[in-house]
Amino acid sequence: MSCKKLNNSFLCVIFVIFLQCLLINNVSGIRCFQCSSLNDSKCAFLTQDDMDSPYLVECPPFYQDFWNDEKHEMFCRLMVQTVKLNQTMTRVTRGCGWVKHHKPCYRVISEVKKEQICQCFEDGCNASKTSNLQATNITAIFALCALFMSKYFY
């Protein structure tokens, strides 16, 4: 085999390796809102429209469990706690989770505390759903107004 063919083969292999490096996707984690209303009251009112919020942070792609050497894929979690002691206090905590529950949402209730914990698997999914509800309400109001106007004015 001539040197020219060897050089071409070598360059071809280098080029293929270079292309593979360019095409490999970086492993990145899900982006979740991470905050607590105990520290910042704005945390309680984040909506899915707040995708530019400083609270929307990328989670690590995996949690390494050192006890049993398992890797857990991260997801988003929303926890609403209501504690009844001298007064009733509600706290909203948003963050990354790694131990999945078999239900998307579940409740834990005791004499002094109620918790609702939900898990989800898309960027920013642990926001409040109020913006969607408000949009639905506004649409319904416009539809009723249009219906009313069409019956009485046309």
Say how many residues make up the chain. 154
- What is the Cα–Cα distance from 100 to 5, expressed in whole angstroms? 55
Quick check: 26 pLDDT over 50? no
pLDDT in tens, 44-55: 999 988 989 999
Contacts of 65 (CB under 8 A, 6+ apart): 71, 72
Q: Which residue has the tokens 């416009």?
A: 142
Domain boundaries, the chain: 30-149
Residue 14: the pLDDT is 47
79 sits in which H/E element: strand 75-84
Quick check: 2 pLDDT over 90? no
Quick check: 67 pLDDT over 50? yes
Residue 68: the pLDDT is 72
